[in-house]
Amino acid sequence: MSDATSTGPMLAADGTPLKRSLNRALRAQKLRALMLIAPLLVFILVTFIAPITDMLFRSVENQIVSDTLPRTTRALEGWDHNSGELPSEDVFAALTYDLVAAAERKDHTRLGTRLNYETTGMSSIFRKTGRRIDDFGETYMDQFAEATPDLAAPETWVTVMADPGWRADYAAWEAARAAARETGRDFDRPPPLFRLKNGVADILPEAADVYAEFARIAQVENGDNPAEEEPWAPVYLALYRDLMHVGPGAIERLDDASRATLAPAHDAVAGFQSERLADLYLDADKGWGEPAIWSTIQAFSSNYTPGYFLASVDLRQTADGVAMQDEDRRIYIMLFERTLFMSLAIMGACILLGYPIAFLLANLPLRTSNVLLILVLLPFWTSLLVRTSSWKVLLQQQGVINDVLVWIGLVDNANRLVMINNQFGTIVAMTHILLPFMILPLYSVMKTIPPTYVRAAKSLGASNWTAFWRVYFPQSVPGIGAGCILVFILAIGYYITPELVGGTTGTFISNRIAYHISSSLNWGLAAALGSILLAVVLLLYWIYDRIVGIDNVSLG
Amino acid sequence: MTMKQLLSATALAALPAGALFAQDLPPCENCADSITAVSWGGAYQTSQIKAYAEPYTALTGTTFTWDESSNEAVAKLRAQSEAGNITWDLVDVEGPDSQRLCDEGLAMEVDHDEILAAGDDGSAPTDDFSDSVINDCFIPQIVFSTTFGYRTDVSAWNGNEPDNLCALFDLETFPGKRSLEKRPKKNIEWALLCDGVAKDELYDVLSTPEGLERALAKLDTIKSETIWWSAGAETPQRLADGEVVMGSTYNGRLFSLIVEQNQPVKMLWDWQVFDFDGWVIPADLPEDRLNRVLHFLHFATDTQRLADQAKYISYGPARASSQPLVSTHADLGIEMAPHMPTNPENQKNYLVNNIEWWADNQDDVEARFQAWLAQ
Amino acid sequence: MSQMDLPPYATPGQRIWHYTFLVICGLIFFFLIAPILVIIPLSFNAEDFFTFTPKMLALDPEGYSLKHYRDFFTNPSWQQALWNSVKIAPAATVIAVTLGTLAAIGLSQDHVPFRRAIMAILISPMIVPLIISAAGMYFFYSRIGLQGTYLGVVLAHAALGIPFVIITVTATLVGFDRSLTRAAASLGANPVTTFFKVQMPLILPGVISGGLFAFITSFDEVVVVLFVGSANQQTLPWQMFTGLREQISPTILAVATILVVISIALLTTVELLRRRSERLRGLSPG
C-alpha cells in the first residue's frame, strides 16, 4: 500500500474516487426514478392541473369591461363618482362609440349581464340602449347630408379615411377573388384589413377612430366592402364633434380630395342644431341618470377584479371600497355554512355507524370478518347512481319506507313522512355512500391494537367501559381522524347526490357552482366559489397528509 | 345505384302512402351527411324524430345524433363558441332562449322567406308563421302551453277539484305538495294574477321594485309545500308517483300522462302560458354542415311535417297552414285538435309571456328568485 | 379465542349489552346493504313505477316481468350508452395503468427528489371535488378543442383513475423485496427482462386491482362526463342521471341491478387478487 493511496481518496474498481462514483450512481438512480415518474407527472399536469389553474384564473379575469368599452373606461378615469354629477358629454360620446361597435358585434348584452352581477338593472339598461344606439347621432347624419351631400355616400368616407395603400391592396384582393370565381377555384384568402390614412387621426381623432372600427367590423363581421356601406350614425356624431373642435387650419392640412368634402362641412357645423347625448341616453333608459351605474363601470374597468371573490362571501365592490351585498342577495355565506354543517353531520353519522362496525370486524376471527367486510365493500363498489336511485325509491312519500311505516300503522296514510328533497334525504343518502370511507381506515387502525392491552386493563380491575374508554378508544383515535378527514373531504365537494335528493334546502355549494356554470352563466363567480371550496379541501388534504400520509390510504 | 340510394329507396317503400317522395326534395349540394340536433328529450324529442328526422333519413340517408341539452343550450353554445369549436348543428330552444342566443350572436340570423318552404296554400313563410317568428334567428315549430295537472284521487280535498289556477295557492282547500319550475318565469306571473293583479297590468307591476317582491311574497305562502323541477318530465313523474298533488308542466307531457298512460290526473286550461318553441342554427357553422341543416329545415318545417308532429304530441303547429291538417293520434287514433293549446275551447283564459320584458329583466329576476329559493 | 366471544362468567348486564351491540351492528349492516338489494326486486316490476305494487307484494307472478331488461337491451339510446361506456372505460384504464404503474415503480425507489410533492400532485384528482375538476376541464378542454370528443373524456377519466393505480401499486411495492431484482441483475438479466420476469409477476395483483379501480371510476363517473362529453359520448351513468331526473322508466333499476352484479363480480376478483398477492409476498398465511 503506497502513501499516495492511503492519503488520497478511496477509489472504486475503475479507478475513480469512490465518493464521486457513488454520487454518480445516486444521480443516475434519481434520474431513472424521475424518468419513470415524468410521463405521468406531465400527463396529470396537462390533463388535470392545467384545467384547474385555468379555471382559477377565471375567478379574477375581468377583461370584458375594458375590452368592450375601451374608450368609455379611459374617459371615465377623470370622473369623480362622489361628485353626484353625471359624467361629461365626452364620456357619453365615448360610450356611444363603444356601444355601437359592441352592439354590432353583439357583445353588449354579455357585458350588461356581467355588470348586472355587480349592480342590478345594468343588464336591462344595456339591452334597451343597445337597441337604440345606432340612432344616436342621426340628427347630425341628416344635417351633414343636407349641408354636404357627398358625406352621405360611403365612397366619400373611404376617400377621406382610408390609406391609399390599403385601397390598392383591397382592389387587388377583389380582382383575385373575381378571377378565382371565374375559374371555379376555391378562394378563402381573407381581405386586407382596413387601414387609416396617415395623419387623418391627428386632425379628426374621434371620427377616424370610429370610422376605422366601423370599417373593420363591416369587413370582419359581415364580410362587406366598407366602400359600399353607409357608416353608422355615431360616425357622423364623431365627425361633428371633431369639426366643432378643429380650426380651419387643420382642415387645410388635409389632402385635396378630403378638403373638398370637409371644408364646406366644417363651415356648416357651427350652424347645426345640436343635441345633448345625455338626453338621448336618459330617454333610452332613465337608469343612465344614476351615478351608481357609472361608478360600477368605473370600478370594474380594470383587467382583474376581486369582485367575484367578494361576491362569493356576500360582499361587493363599489367605487368607495367593499360593502355588504344587498340583503336579498346574500346567500353564499349561508350556503357555505350549510355545506359545512351538513358535511359535519354526515361525518358524525359516519362515526356513529362506522365505529361499531369497525370494532366488530377488528375483533372477529379473520374468516368471519372477511365475509362481513364484503358487506362493507359491496356498497363501496356499487355505482353511485345506483345507490342514489335506491334512496329515491326508499325515501319518497310513496316509497318503501313510508309504505312500511303506514302498513305497520306507525304513520297515518294521509301524513306520510317527507324524507326526500330536503336536508334529511341528503344526509341519509350521503352517510350511506360515504360510510365505507369511515369503516375502512378505522378497521385498519383497530386491527393493529393488541387485544392484550384491554385484557390487562380488565385484569387490573377496570370495568368493561373504563377499559374501552381509557385504553381501547384512545388507540383508535388515529383511525377516527383519518376516516373523518376522508369523509369530510369527499362530502364537502359532493354534487350528484344532493342534486338528485336534496331539493332546495339539501343542496351544497357544489350545486350552486354547477348552476352558475350551466344555467346563470356566471362563470367568474362559479370559479371563485370553486376556488374557495378547493382551498378548504386542499387545507384538509394537507392536514391529512401530515397526520396519515397520503401513501397510507388503503382501498380495502 | 349506390348502396345508400338503395337503402333509402327501400326505406322509402316502407313509408305509408301519401308520404313525400324523393323527387319533391331538391338535391343537397356540398352537404355533410350527419346532423347533431339538440332537443328536450322525452316524448317531445320522440315526436320530432318520428315526424321530421326519420322521414328525412329515409329520403337522404342523413344520420342524426340527438343531444338532450336544450335546457343548457345557451351555456353550452357559449362555451363552444368561445372555443371556436361548434359541435352542434341545430338547437331546439324556447322563444326567450332564442332571443338571448340571437342577442349574443350565438345563433345565426336567417331570412325566413328565403330558407323556409312556402305554405301548402302558397302563403309566404313569414305570413304563414306570422307571430311565431319572434326574432331573426328563430325558426318556429310549435305552440305549447305551460299549464297545470292535478291528481283526481286526493282524499284530503273532500271531493273538491280545482277549477282555476289560483287553487295552487289555496292550501286550505287543496292541501298537498306542489311541483313548480325552478325558474321565475311563469311562476311570478301566476303569483301576481292570483294576488289580484289584472292581466294588462302584469308587466307594469313587475317593472316596479315592489312588483317582484309582491310575487315572491305570494309564492312564499306555498314555498314549504313546493318541490321544484328543472326538467319537463319531473312533474308528470311526481304526479304519477303521488309525490305531488298538482304541478305545472308542458301541456304535451300532461297529455301523454293522462291519455296515453291513463293516470288519475286532470289538466287545467286556465291562465296557461302560451309559448313558442323552435330551432336556431348556431352561428359560424362550416359550409357543408350549414347546407345540410338548411336543407333539413326546409323539409322539416313545411306544412305537412309540422302537422305530422301533432300525431305524436299535443302541441300545435306554428304554421297557420298546418292547422287544418292536424289529424289523429298515431297510436290511439283519437282526434288531436281538442288537446291543442291552439284549440279555441282551451284559449278562454290564457297568458303570453312578454318576451322583450323577459329579455331585459331576466338577469335581475333570475338572481333575485334564486336567492329567494335558497333562503 | 376472539374478542367477540362472551366469557362464561359474563354478568346478565354484560350479556344484554353484548347482544344489543350485535343487534346494532346487524342494523347497520342492514342499512349498508338493504338499499342495494331493494332495487333488485323492483327492477322486475311489471308496472312503470318506482314502488312495490300490491301484486308484487302478493308474490303474484303477474306482478313481475322482464320488460325493463328487454327495454335496456333493445332501446338504442341505452345500447349506445352501454357501448360508449365500454369504449371509454378500457381506454382510460389502459392509460391510467400504464403511466401509473411506471410512476409507482419510480416513486418506490430510494432517493426520489420531491417525492412528497409529486405524490400529492398525482393523488390530487382523487381529492379535488369532482365539480371543480369537471368545471376546469370543461373550460380548458373547450379551449383546446377536446370538449365533446372521445379523447377528451378518455383523458379526463384516465386522470381521475390514476390515483387509484398509484395507491394500489405503491402498496404492493412496499412489501417488494428489492434483493430479487438485484439477484436477477447479477445473474445477467437486463432491466427490461428483470422488470417483466421478476418484478411484474409480483406486483401484478396490485396493478390489476388498481386497473379495476380505474375502470370502475370511469364506468361509474357522471359529473365529468356531463361536462366534458357531448351527445356522442353519453355513457351509462349519464343516461342514468338524465333518466333519474327525467324519464318515468324503471329501466334505470334494471341497469342498476346489472351494475350491482358486475360490482359483485369485480369485488370478488379484487378480493381473490389481494389474497393471492399476500400469499405470494408471504404477508399472510393465506
Read off the pLDDT of residues C44-53 as tens digits, 9 standing for 90 and up: 888 776 777 7
CB distance B371–A330 less than 8 Å? yes
Nearest to B104 among A109, A503, A515 (CB): A109
Torsion of CA C13, C19, C20, C22, to 10 degrees: 150
- Bridge partners (DSSP) of residue B279 are B92, B139
> Is the pLDDT score of B270 beyond 70?
yes
CB distance C232–B65 less than 8 Å? yes
A400: enclosing H helix or E strand: helix A400-407
- pLDDT value of position A8: 67
Q: Provide the residue type at A339 as one letter.
A: T
Chain B residues close to C251, C-beta within 8 Å: none
Nearest to A514 among C131, C213, C237 (CB): C131
Nearest residue of C to residue A451 by CA position?
C3
CB distance A517–B155 less than 8 Å? no
**DSSP label at B26?**
P
Number of H helices, E strands in chain A: 30, 2
CB distance B371–A329 less than 8 Å? yes
CB distance C139–B231 less than 8 Å? no
| Mean pLDDT calculated for residue range C35-41 | 87
> Is the pLDDT score of B1 beyond 70?
no
Which cell goes with C213? 379501480
Nearest residue of C to residue A431 by CA position?
C32
Nearest to B85 among C50, C139, C142 (CB): C142
Closest CA to A500 of A431, A426, A427: A426
* DSSP-derived 3-state class of residue C54: helix
* DSSP-derived 3-state class of residue B153: coil
> Is the pLDDT score of C247 beyond 70?
no
Task: Give me the total of CB pairs closer than 8 Å, taking one residue from chain A and one from chain B.
Answer: 77
- pLDDT value of position A70: 96
CB distance C135–A530 less than 8 Å? yes
- pLDDT value of position B180: 95
Query: CATH homologous superfamily of domain B30-143+276-338?
Result: Periplasmic binding protein-like II (3.40.190.10)
Q: How many CB atoms lie within 10 A of CB C259?
A: 22
Chain B residues close to A113, C-beta within 8 Å: 363
Closest CA to A235 of A250, A260, A215: A215
| High-pLDDT (> 90) share of chain B, % | 55
Chain B residues close to C48, C-beta within 8 Å: 261
Chain C residues close to B40, C-beta within 8 Å: none
Spatial separation of the C-alpha atoms in residues A115 and A122, rounded to whole Å: 6
Per-domain residue ranges for chain C?
78-280
Could you identify the residue written with the cell 333519413?
B57
Closest CA to B204 of B216, B192, B194: B192
- pLDDT value of position C286: 34
Query: CATH homologous superfamily of domain C78-280?
Result: MetI-like (1.10.3720.10)
CATH numeric code, B146-274+340-374 = 3.40.190.10
| Mean pLDDT calculated for residue range B128-153 | 92
Residues 6+ apart with CB under 8 A from B228: A503, A504, B179, B180, B181, B182, B373
Could you identify the residue written with the cell 316481468?
C65
CB distance C51–B241 less than 8 Å? yes
pTM: 0.90
CB distance B231–C143 less than 8 Å? no
pLDDT band at C192 (very low <50, low <70, confident <90, very high): confident
Nearest to C14 among A43, A357, A464 (CB): A464
Neighbouring chains to B with at least 3 Cβ pairs closer than 8 Å? A, C
Chain C residues close to A517, C-beta within 8 Å: 135, 138, 227
Written as tens digits, the pLDDT of chain A (556 aa) is 444 445 667 777 777 888 888 888 888 888 888 899 999 999 999 999 999 999 889 999 999 999 999 999 999 998 988 888 899 999 999 999 999 999 999 899 999 999 999 888 899 999 999 999 999 999 999 999 998 888 988 999 999 999 999 999 999 999 998 998 888 887 888 889 999 999 899 999 999 999 999 999 999 888 888 989 999 999 999 999 999 988 888 888 888 888 888 999 999 998 999 999 999 999 999 999 999 899 999 999 999 999 999 999 999 888 788 889 888 888 999 999 999 999 999 999 999 999 999 999 998 988 788 888 888 888 887 888 888 888 988 898 888 898 889 889 888 887 888 888 899 999 999 999 999 989 988 998 898 888 889 889 988 988 888 999 999 999 998 889 888 988 999 999 999 999 888 888 899 999 999 999 888 889 999 999 999 999 999 998 888 888 777 666 555 4
CB distance B237–C143 less than 8 Å? no
Per-domain residue ranges for chain B?
30-143+276-338, 146-274+340-374
Spatial separation of the C-alpha atoms in residues A215 and A221, rounded to whole Å: 10
Nearest to C148 among B66, B87, B230 (CB): B87
pLDDT band at C129 (very low <50, low <70, confident <90, very high): very high
| High-pLDDT (> 70) share of chain B, % | 94
Nearest to C246 among B79, B84, B234 (CB): B234
> Is the pLDDT score of B233 beyond 50?
yes
Burial of A11 (0-12, 13-18, 19+ CB in 10 A): middle
Chain C residues close to A41, C-beta within 8 Å: 103, 118, 121-122
Residues B246, B176 contacting (CB under 8 angstroms): yes
- pLDDT value of position A2: 46
Chain C residues close to B87, C-beta within 8 Å: 147-148, 230
- So what CATH class is A332-552? mainly alpha
Nearest to C247 among B36, B38, B42 (CB): B42
Q: How many CB atoms lie within 10 A of CB C66?
A: 13
Spatial separation of the C-alpha atoms in residues B269 and B147, rounded to whole Å: 7
Residues 6+ apart with CB under 8 A from A415: none
CB distance C48–B36 less than 8 Å? no
Nearest to A39 among C99, C213, C245 (CB): C99
| Mean pLDDT calculated for residue range B102-109 | 92
| Mean pLDDT calculated for residue range C150-158 | 96
Neighbouring chains to C with at least 3 Cβ pairs closer than 8 Å? A, B
Chain C residues close to A400, C-beta within 8 Å: 38, 51-52
Give just the sign of the alpha carbon dihedral A435, A437, A438, A441: positive
Across chain B, mean pLDDT equals 88
φ, ψ for residue B230 (rounded to 5)?
A: -125, -15
Residues 6+ apart with CB under 8 A from A390: C35, C36, C38, C39, C256
Chain B residues close to C147, C-beta within 8 Å: 79-80, 83, 85, 87
Say what angle helices C130-143 and A509-518 make with each other, to 10 degrees. Answer: 20
CB distance A513–C138 less than 8 Å? no
Nearest to A503 among B227, B367, B375 (CB): B227
Give just the sign of the alpha carbon dihedral B28, B29, B31, B33: positive
Chain A residues close to B370, C-beta within 8 Å: 331, 515, 520
pLDDT band at C284 (very low <50, low <70, confident <90, very high): very low
Q: Provide the residue type at A408 as one letter.
A: I
Neighbouring chains to A with at least 3 Cβ pairs closer than 8 Å? B, C
Nearest residue of B to residue C228 by CA position?
B76
- pLDDT value of position A83: 86
